Structure 1
Amino acid sequence: MSIVKSGSAAYKPLGKEGKGSISTETGALSNQPYGFNTRFEDGKGTNPEELIGAAHASCFTMALSFALAEAGYDDGELNTTAKISLDKTGDGYKISKSALFLEASVEGIGEDEFAKIANDAKENCPVSKLLDAEITLEYKL
């Protein structure tokens, strides 16, 4: 049985002059503006890369939290940023990398055990599995 969540986007007119809006079914985003200027310049609004970054950071952080709890750790705090790289290629653009930066405080855990659990979460969170990109992890424990 699948869990299905949705987001939607609208865009008009076509091309660089177009403007769009992005919404989520939960209302977390409701008609949030996006367009050429928010993706490739400093326009006000959002863009697909920052949304993927938020999705990847939250997915990884939750997966790590659950894995740490399963390993017996219940006191801590995790803060993750995902930096998404969008590169021009010969045939357009490609999201080439998601660099995860984690600051963690986990009571009683050793460096080796933390590294193993964190890297497993990086490889196996659902968003990591979805991305066709290099995924790196740097952390400060």
Structure 2
Amino acid sequence: MINKSGSANWQGGLKDGTGTVSTESGVLDKQNYGFNKRFGDEAGTNPEELIAAAHASCFSMALSNILGDYDLKAEDISTVATVTLEQVDGGFAVTKSHLKMTAVIPGASEETFLEAANKAKAGCPISKLLNAEITMDATLA
């Protein structure tokens, strides 16, 4: 079993409050977040951005692992995840995560590439965590 942690602190009301978010590794250390960073156009991090980064990185690693089952090794896997936050049933929910990935994989056929990418999309731990529609555009360069 592997345990990793992140932490957050929030002070004040929803719209006038502020918070900080930190990660166990220290990559984020009391990084500010707030209402306008999440729902407005103020620059800064927010929970959906962090989920998107987690999904992109998890998927890329899962694809790398699955490619090994085909005796293939990627030179490059570049993934962008776009997470959608929508108002539903009087509240908010992450309803979608769209993966856009381009990979350079010497010796891979398009068929094998897409099979591996779809396995990674379904099987990466963050995909399994999300209660959302997960879609993907996959390009073999």
Normalised-by-shorter TM-score class:
over 0.9
State the identity %.
49
Query: For residues 105 and 18 of structure 1, what CA distance do their matches in structure 2 show?
Result: 45
In the TM superposition, what is the alpha-carbon distance from 1:76 to its structure 2 partner?
A: 1.8
Match of 2:133 in 1: 134
Displacement after TM superposition at 1:14 (Å): 2.2
Tell me how far apart the structure 2 counterparts of residues 130 and 57 of structure 1 sit (CA, whole Å).
Answer: 13
Q: Deviations over 1:25-83 (max 9, x none)?
A: 00010011101010011213200000000000000000001111232112421000000
The aligned residue for residue 26 of structure 2 is 27
Q: Which runs of 4+ in 1 moved over 4 A?
A: none
Partner of 1:4: 3
- Between Structure 1 and Structure 2, how many residues are aligned? 140
Counterpart of 1:52, as a letter, is I
Deviates more, 1:69-78 or 1:125-134: 69-78
Aligned CA RMSD, in angstroms, stands at 0.9
Instruction: Look up the SS of the partner of 1:54 in the other structure.
Output: helix
1:44 to 1:72, Cα distance in 2 relative to 1, 3 A: same
**In structure 2, C-alpha distance between the alignment counterparts of 1:31 and 1:44, rounded to whole Å:** 16
Rounded to whole Å, the distance in 2 between the matches of 1:86 and 1:41 is 13
Residues 118 and 75 of structure 1: CA distance in aligned 2, closer, same or farther (over 3 Å): closer
Partner of 1:79: 78
Paired residue type of 2:40: E
Q: Distance in 1 between matches of 2:102 and 2:113?
A: 12
Unmatched 5+ stretches in structure 2: none
Compute the TM-score of the two structures, normalised by the length of structure 1. 0.96
